[in-house]
Amino acid sequence: MKLLDTHQYQDRLCFLDCLLIVVFALGFHLYRLGSVVPLSDHEGLVAVTATETLEGNWIVPHFDGQIRLQKTPLMYWAVAGLGKIAGGINEFVVRLPSAFSATGVALLMAILAARMFGRVSGIITGLAVAGSVGILWQSHRGIADMMMTFFVVGSFVSFYFALENIREGKSGLRYMVLAYIAFGLGMLAKGPVPAPVVIFPLALYLILTGEWREWRKFHLVLGVLICLIIVGGWVLPVLSHVGNAVWRWKAEYISRFTGGFAEASKRPWYYYVPLIFLFGLPWTIFLPTGLTLPFNNKLKDKKRELLYIFLWFVCGFIFFSASEGKRSHYLLPVLPPAILLSVAGMIYALEIRFDRKFIFRASQIIIVGSFIAFFVGYWMITTYLPGMAFYYLIICSLMIASEIIALELYLRVNLMSAVTVTALTAGIVFAVVWPLVPRVEDHARDPVSAAQKINESTEPDADIYFIGRANAHLIYYAKRRMPQIPDSQDIVEILKSADRKGAKQRLVKKVIDRVAGIIRQNKRIYFITSGPRYPLLKSWTQKRGEKIYEILRIPRYFSRDKGLVLFSNKPPAKFGKAGTPD
């Protein structure tokens, strides 16, 4: 693969190249990480668990006082460690590991692309990864997926460098060690996802290229030992502390993959197809071209490199699509190779396949199409979100101006200058959009105001229980424990039972008995549940001769048709300024 730039054949990035990519990426990935956008429910899980980690639960993670083994602990440790340094856990601290990981992914992909296709390709790839929709968005989400993606990328990059050394007759030991360490840390960040995402494509690549014959040089025994030390150093203490840890892991990982969770049935097998194009914008318009390159006879000299990236993306994409449990952020580990393939497709299309005249005409069509889309979008914005019309004009103006400037730079200067403008525009657009998130979302679902209303409606030391799944960011912003009924142990019992229907019936009875015991207490107890569940609870308590009293209702909090209800076993009390009943 060749660019017109005669200096592109250098296969290493210099220090200034790396610095450029890091500064560019951090400038956008760190932008307003803090409280401008409240934590999501998933981020709340990390925040609360990291807070309880700081309280002493470093081996066995706890959320809201209950054991949480659904995720491996590296993200909790990272947030807790940063919180210790910063003097507390807040939105910025929760999201900081993801921001650093996103920048690390951009840098590693730049290094890999430079080694495969030349220095200019590396710089373009670094800017493209850092300035893609998915990476920009996920850099501002404090969940484990971005950190896990960094280590998955580290595994692939290190393994590729090891293979190159082996082909040249050198020892690939140091790179193999780095690959195994990255793999182990990825498992600790969000295991066991890296196992199929890394092992399947690498094994298939080695089989197709015939390099499996060099398996003795892969130091597999050492690799297994490294991974056992990293992952086993946490798993073994957990097994000694939690008797049913294996069942808990099975409930989370196997049941989620096979559809044991309710949300699984709502998403079809092709769920990730449009998402991969959305997350990779503006670069993935060239992804279809990039996917054909490993089979293009004109690129025989780069077939091995293209196949490596192709299998990384395709095998991972098939794995995630085969899973019954699908969520948008699960796709992150295959986004970097998708963007690299898109960059390769862009370079091939613009520098080799099409001439400048064709590109100029195609760009004119795209720009005209953008203007048409602008007017249609403006009508929709003014109709449904009139308060956002001004920001919409800013965003569209930036994007259309970027298209025109990038085209001019490409035709008069070179491709890299056009890519730089496009990546900068993507980052600037994100910087405009990110602070607007709370203004676009339903205000009824704001966890900060909901937590404040709950605290104002209850005594500071009152017991509050969640009936149903606990809302993590509500617990974080309320700064108080709200134990979940049923607890995690009860849910595990359902998932490990062969008679799932019977187990659910037993669980309902157990929940009823537990709630009944709490309601009968003489002191005031509060409960939080969803709007549809509250009438059922009220009817059930009336049949038992008990009474419950609605204290607070927030419509649409959980969803459009599921509001939040706070109720108590005692009549409502009025609170004075000191937070005690009058």
457 and 531 fall within a common domain: yes
449 and 564 fall within a common domain: yes
Q: Position 559: which residue type?
A: S
Total domains in the fold of the chain: 4
453 and 564 fall within a common domain: yes
- What is the spatial distance between Cα 498 and Cα 246, in angstroms, rounded to a whole number? 16
Q: Range with the lowest mean pLDDT among 199-208, 392-401, 476-485, 506-515? A: 506-515
**Ramachandran region of residue 219, left (φ > 0), alpha (ψ -120 to 50) or beta?**
left
Structure tokens, 425: 């525009």
The residue from 392, 414, 440 where one domain ends is 440
With tokens 């004075």, the residue in question is 576
- Rounded to the nearest 10°, the torsion over CA 35, 37, 42, 44 is 30
Structure tokens, 42: 């998933």
Degrees, nearest 5: CA angle 258-263-264: 25
Domain that holds residue 425: 359-440
- What is the spatial distance between Cα 48 and Cα 365, in angstroms, rounded to a whole number? 50
Q: What share of the chain in percent tops pLDDT 90? A: 62
Within a domain: 208: yes
466 and 558 fall within a common domain: yes
- What is the spatial distance between Cα 401 and Cα 393, in angstroms, rounded to a whole number? 12
Within a domain: 336: yes
- pLDDT, position 236: 94
Q: Does residue 444 surpass a pLDDT of 90?
A: no
CA 227 from centroid of its chain's CA atoms: 23
Within a domain: 546: yes
Query: What are the tens digits of pLDDT across the range 214-250?
Result: 899 999 999 999 999 999 999 999 999 888 788 778 7
196 and 160 fall within a common domain: yes
Q: Does residue 346 surpass a pLDDT of 60?
A: yes
The residue from 198, 218, 240 where one domain ends is 240
- pLDDT, position 100: 98
- pLDDT, position 264: 44
507: confidence class by pLDDT, cuts 50, 70, 90? confident
167 and 219 fall within a common domain: yes
- Rounded mean pLDDT, 11-17: 85
450 and 545 fall within a common domain: yes
Structure tokens, 215: 């398996």
Q: State the chain's mean pLDDT as an integer.
A: 89
Q: Does residue 177 surpass a pLDDT of 90?
A: yes
263: confidence class by pLDDT, cuts 50, 70, 90? very low
The residue from 409, 440, 471 where one domain ends is 440
Within a domain: 35: no
7: confidence class by pLDDT, cuts 50, 70, 90? very low
Q: Does residue 579 surpass a pLDDT of 50?
A: no
Q: What share of the chain in percent tops pLDDT 70? A: 92
251 and 307 fall within a common domain: yes
Query: What are the tens digits of pLDDT across the range 91-107?
Result: 999 999 999 999 999 99
428 and 454 fall within a common domain: no
Within a domain: 199: yes
- Rounded mean pLDDT, 154-166: 96
- pLDDT, position 495: 61
Query: What are the tens digits of pLDDT across the range 107-117?
Result: 999 999 999 99
204 and 310 fall within a common domain: no
163 and 228 fall within a common domain: yes
Q: In what order do the strands lie in the sheet with 525-530?
A: 484-485, 463-467, 525-530, 562-568, 549-559
- pLDDT, position 575: 52
Within a domain: 415: yes
Query: What are the tens digits of pLDDT across the range 361-388?
Result: 888 888 888 888 888 888 888 888 888 8
Within a domain: 342: yes
- Rounded mean pLDDT, 187-216: 94
- pLDDT, position 497: 63
Within a domain: 55: no
Would you call 482 helix, strand, or coil by DSSP? coil
- pLDDT, position 549: 92
- What is the spatial distance between Cα 154 and Cα 105, in angstroms, rounded to a whole number? 8
State the burial class of residue 379 (Cβ atoms within 10 Å of its Cβ: 0-12, 13-18, 19+).
exposed
| Sequence-ordered list of residues with C-beta below 8 angstroms from that of 357, at least 6 positions apart, any chain | none
- What is the spatial distance between Cα 177 and Cα 138, in angstroms, rounded to a whole number? 28
461 and 561 fall within a common domain: yes
Would you call 464 helix, strand, or coil by DSSP? strand
- pLDDT, position 156: 98
Strand partners, 408: none
275: confidence class by pLDDT, cuts 50, 70, 90? very high
Q: For 539-568, give one letter per residue: b (16+ CB within 10 A) or e.
A: eebeeeeeebeebbebeebbeeebbbbbbb
Strand partners, 242: none
Q: Position 528: which residue type?
A: I
Query: What are the tens digits of pLDDT across the range 532-565?
Result: 989 988 888 888 888 889 999 999 998 888 999 9
pTM for this predicted structure = 0.93
Beta carbons within 10 angstroms of residue 49's beta carbon: 24
